[in-house]
Structure 1
Amino acid sequence: MADRIRPTRHRVLTAVTLCGVLAAVASGCSASDGEDAAASARSSVAPPTAAGPTAGSGDGGKVVLPEQNISFDYQIGGAYPPPPGVRAVSRDRAAKPAPGLYNICYVNAFQAQADATDWWQTHHPDLLLRGSGGALVEDKDWHEALLDISTAAKREQLAGIVGEWIDGCAAAGFQAVEADNLDSHERSDGLLTADHDLAFGKLLVDRAHAGGLAIGQKNAAGLARKGRSLGFDFAVAEECGQYDECDAYAYAFDDRVFVIECKADWLAAACKLWGKRLSVVLRDRNVVPAGDGAYRRCAC
């Protein structure tokens, strides 16, 4: 199942003095609604077995890039009918694409979903990153074990597994894939580097393009230019308005950037700076489906 928007980032915040809560409230959002909601449990989506058949691999279809500044909704926590005017949506790989829209398929490419750790331990224990004494290295925010992409051989093995998910996205009718956690090295206790993440990212780029899918870099603003040079086609950026990072993505990806903010005042800030260039949306931090009491959505 899809990741949730990370509640903490390991970087110094940059203050931005812009219109805040009032502008967001005028758009129908409350600055406090759902900001501190606890992370909800994710439904199980087990990885495919490595021996399973691939689908849609290497069909050579034409890659279609997303439009700049297209109205967007982020539905990785559960699909629902897109609000009026939405023309692009990101959904978990287990969900169906939204008819008639530009559909982005979410894949947690660099880390193991918390509810899939046992599967990895059973089938591919050597592909999980381990630290002192053989303990799993985890993303502590989400209790996700990091995948071990520290060697070329392991990256090739992992690209085969994640590549099946990407092929599944293509077969299901998605136009693009969102490869989450390009910044996994920041949570690796020094065992991984940005170069490891980029090298694995390149394998994923090639797999997506071979299947006719565009592929988006997820987070890692400091790697945006390098990610673009590897072949990533667009970016999905969590809270780049809050952390003053949107310019890095906009420059690298020619404004093909999907921005998800979690606080109404930072939505207002992002909209004032980037609303005419980038796709900006406010979602609750757990990105729950419409109908859930914590659900909220606003856009520029």
Structure 2
Amino acid sequence: MTSRPKRPKRPTARRGAPAVAALCAALLTAAAGCTTAADDTGRNTAPGKTALPRAGVDFDYQLGGPYTPPDTVGAVVRDRTERPVPGLYNVCYVNAFQAQPDALGWWRKHHPELLLRDADGEPVVDRDWDEVLLDTSTADGRRRLAEIVGGWVDGCAAAGYQAVEPDNLDSYERSDGLLTAADNLAFAELVARRAHSAGLAVAQKNTVALAPEARELGFDFAVAEECGQYDECGAYADAYDDRVLVVEYRPSGFAAACEEWGGRLSVVLRDLDLVPAGEDGYVRRTC
């Protein structure tokens, strides 16, 4: 089988902004909670409450840098260090399960015990990204991590985002057996609670095998990279009632996603580096 391409580049992230007051009192569940509908462009129709993206909304994936979205776009995903787009449904990217390379010094200085280490005491690294994994293996570690990542999530809410995308739910697959799916799901639940308390919806990022469990824990929709390429879109669609933002990086995957899911899910073809419009290599197409 053809191997998956290297995951797209992510921009450098900074620590989150100060916390904001809670807007939603309880953790959302898959069936209920303080959610509202979005209008035909995917915009939040009830400010101050948690809104979900409309199924099939035209969206843009801008992790490589912000730019003015096309006029048809109703939802956009940007890094937490960037400003949201007024009038659109904005999803805030947060690297929740791994340490950004430029932030590793901060982690080593302030929270070295929260970095995952092997039997020799060496940090466990995601080699594709040169990112050290965060240690979600204990309840106390998860609680402390949730306070740090929760501050970033609160910063997304304060900036005006409607949702958060915590990345690297699948870090346990790169942990050399030191982490389990259960560890990461337990931490994900804490992040989801923090996001919901700040009035943000929560997107599951990849890891299709955990979609049913993530939905039960309170995740609201999905951001799925290459689900068309690997025939995984249906599992996300079933778990999240078609509220799935599909990002494809290869024409073959894009064609497959459009053919089977273009009438139901949000599908976009982007260049692997996610460069801003106007730069060399920029690609963006929709079904």
Determine the C-alpha separation between the residues in 2 that align with 1:8 and 1:57. 44
Question: Are residues 148 and 8 of structure 1, via their aligned partners in 2, closer, same or farther at CA, if it must alter by over 3 Å?
Answer: farther
The equivalent of 1:114 in structure 2 is 101
- 1:55 aligned onto 2:19: yes
* CA–CA distance in structure 2, aligned partners of residues 58 and 193 of structure 1: 31
Equivalent-residue separation in structure 1 for 2:161 and 2:233 (angstroms) = 25
Alignment of 1:256-267 (within 5 A): 256-267=243-254
Contact kept in structure 2, 1:70 and 1:279, CA below 8 Å? yes
Residue in 1 that maps onto 2:41: none
> Which amino acid in 2 is paired with 1:191?
L
> How do 1:117-132 and structure 2 match up within 5 A?
117-132=104-119
Taking the aligned partners of 2:133 and 2:3, their CA distance within structure 1 comes to 17
**Which consecutive unaligned segments of at least 5 residues does structure 1 have?**
1-6, 10-34
| Equivalent in the alignment of 2:58 | 71
> Residue by residue, what CA displacement relative to the aligned partner does 1:106-162 show, whole Å, maximum 9, x if unpaired?
001111112211111111111000013111111111111100000000000000000
Distance 1:240 1:39, change over 3 A: closer
Aligned equivalents of 1:283 and 1:230: distance in 2?
A: 30
Contact 2:227 2:253 in 1 (8 A): no
Kept after mapping to 2: 8 A contact 1:46/1:119: no
Give, in angstroms, the shift of residue 225 of structure 1: 0.6
Q: Distance between the aligned counterparts of 2:215 and 2:153, measured in 1?
A: 19
2:11·2:65 contact (CA, 8 Å) conserved in 1? no
Q: Which residue does the alignment assign to 1:286? A: 273
Determine if contact 2:63/2:79 at 8 Å carries over to the other structure: yes
Q: In 1, Cα distance between the equivalents of 2:250 and 2:270?
A: 8
Cα gap change, 1:115/1:212 in structure 2, threshold over 3 Å: closer, same or farther? Answer: same
Deviation, structure 1 residue 44: 3.7
Instruction: Answer whether contact 2:8 2:274 (CA < 8 A) is retained.
Output: no
Correspondence for 1:28: none
Query: How far did residue 43 of structure 1 move?
Result: 5.1
Secondary structure (helix, strand or coil) at the match of 1:73 reads: strand
TM-aligned CA deviation for residue 84 of structure 1: 2.1
* Off by >6 Å, runs of 4+ in structure 1: none
1:283–1:298 contact (8 Å) kept in structure 2: yes
The 1-side partners of 2:275 and 2:125 are apart by 24
- Partner residue, 2:166: 179
Structure 1 distance, partners of 2:23, 2:262, is 36
- Return the letter of the residue paired with 1:205: A
Displacement after TM superposition at 1:244 (Å): 1.0
Residues 8 and 98 from structure 1, CA distance in 2 versus in 1: closer, same or farther, beyond 3 angstroms?
farther
- Return closer, same or farther for 1:177/1:8 CA change in 2, 3 Å cut-off: farther
Aligned-pair CA distance for 1:292: 1.5
The answer on 1:137 being equivalent to 2:124 is yes
Q: Distance in 1 between matches of 2:228 and 2:244?
A: 12
Aligned to 1:90: 77
Q: 1:243 aligns with which of 223, 230, 249?
A: 230
Displacement of 1:8: 5.4
1:45-78 per-position Cα deviation (integer Å, ceiling 9, x unaligned): 3335xxxx83214233421111000001000110
- Stretches of structure 2 that go unaligned for 5 or more consecutive residues are 25-47
Structure 1 residue 99 displacement after superposition: 1.3
Q: Is 2:23–2:49's contact at 8 Å kept on the other side of the alignment?
A: no
Is the 8 Å Cα contact of residues 57 and 207 (structure 1) preserved in structure 2? no
Identical aligned residues as a percent: 59
Q: CA deviation at 1:265?
A: 1.9
Letter of the 2:94 partner, please give it.
V
- In the alignment, what sits opposite 1:193? 180
SS at match of 1:122: helix
1:193-248 deviation digits (Å, cap 9, x = unpaired): 00001000000110011000000010110000100000000000010111111111
Q: TM-score, normalised by structure 1?
A: 0.84
The partner residue of 2:239 within 252, 257, 261 is 252
Normalization by structure 2: what TM-score?
0.88
Separation (CA, whole Å) in 2 of partners of 1:57 and 1:170: 10
Equivalent of 1:149, from 136, 140, 143? Answer: 136
